[in-house]
Amino acid sequence: MNVHDLLSLPPWDWPVEAHEIILEALRDAQAPKDHRRVAVELAGELVVMDDRLAEELLGILTDPQEPAEIRAGAAIALGPALEEADIEGPEPDPEYLSVSPALMRRATLVLREIHEDPEAPKLVRRRALEGAVRWPEPWQIQAVREAFRSGDREWTITAVFCMQFLTGFKEEVREVLDTDDPALLKETILAAGTQELEEAWPLLEDVVSRAVHGPPRFPDLPAYERGILYAAIETAPLIRPEEAEELLAELEELDDPDVHTAVAENLQIANWLLEEWEEDEGLGEGPDKDLDDGRVWH
């Protein structure tokens, strides 16, 4: 079995030797580029992540002799472990983490250094920032704003992606709600959920309506169209959980089990949010949009 065999399976069905298969592929600098690209992609799965894999990813990320695409993939692969540590809070119990706290702290420093290194390839710098925001730190706010205002399309997409993990960017997301760039639109919809941006609701309605009744927004880009629909399904409960069920019910008309599954999963989130509101605010009062979201700043 090799990494391409693992790619065809969901992570929860991987064999016990999956960790060593991925680690061996990462260490083989002579392996075909596509082989190693798949390996760095799979390394980010928490079912296999540990200190050994994280160390290998950091080594790849900091090696200027590695191809930019592979270095960029290593930066992204560190993200899920960082987010796992962030969710556990400022003093996480190592027992519940895939990677040790000390190594995670080192990873955040390396990601920042790579992002700020003007000699690093743009793709690697972008992915370093995208990976770093999974563990929010104050320096990232300015970095994301600079990327957003850069005038560079790719940096703008990176910035809006990062706004899915950081709060305080409502104005920036408003600015790109009417974008006709499919890659940016997907990230904008997801960021609108994190920012709890009410103005994005009509856009979600339009995405759902187009999915059911047409016409498609990007007829020549069906994969982008589908990604945008999934983004809308994920975002609706975060903006108006009390209306998400009515909106997403329209998608039951589609003969698409994957979409139905996504709707069911995200309606569970909507119900959970409504229960939280009732406990915290009193029945029917809704959330206070100006309250801090409890995000841990390391």
Question: Could you tell me if 22 and 43 are in contact, meaning their C-beta atoms sit under 8 angstroms apart?
Answer: yes
Q: Which domains does the chain carry?
A: 1-135 (1.25.40), 160-298 (no CATH)
Rounded to two decimals, the pTM is 0.90
User: What tens digit of pLDDT does each residue of 26-59 get?
Assistant: 999 888 889 999 999 999 999 999 999 999 999 9
pLDDT at 124 over 90: yes
Handedness of CA 130, 133, 139, 140 (dihedral sign): positive
Question: So what's the pLDDT on residue 47?
Answer: 96
Give the CA distances from residue 176 to residues 124, 169, 192, 222, in Å, rounded to whole numbers and listed in that order. 24, 11, 10, 21
Q: Summarize the confidence of residues 173-192 as an average pLDDT.
A: 98
- Mean pLDDT value across the chain: 92
Question: So what's the pLDDT on residue 14?
Answer: 97
User: What tens digit of pLDDT does each residue of 59-69 get?
Assistant: 999 999 999 99
- The 3-class SS string of 98-115 reads CCCHHHHHHHHHHHHHHH
With a pLDDT cut of 90, the percent of the chain lying above it is 85
Q: Summarize the confidence of residues 150-175 as an average pLDDT.
A: 97
Q: Using pLDDT thresholds of 50, 70 and 90, give the confidence band for residue 90.
A: confident
Question: Could you tell me if 115 and 155 are in contact, meaning their C-beta atoms sit under 8 angstroms apart?
Answer: no
Question: So what's the pLDDT on residue 29?
Answer: 86
Q: What span, in angstroms and rounded, lies between the C-alpha atoms of 115 and 128?
A: 5
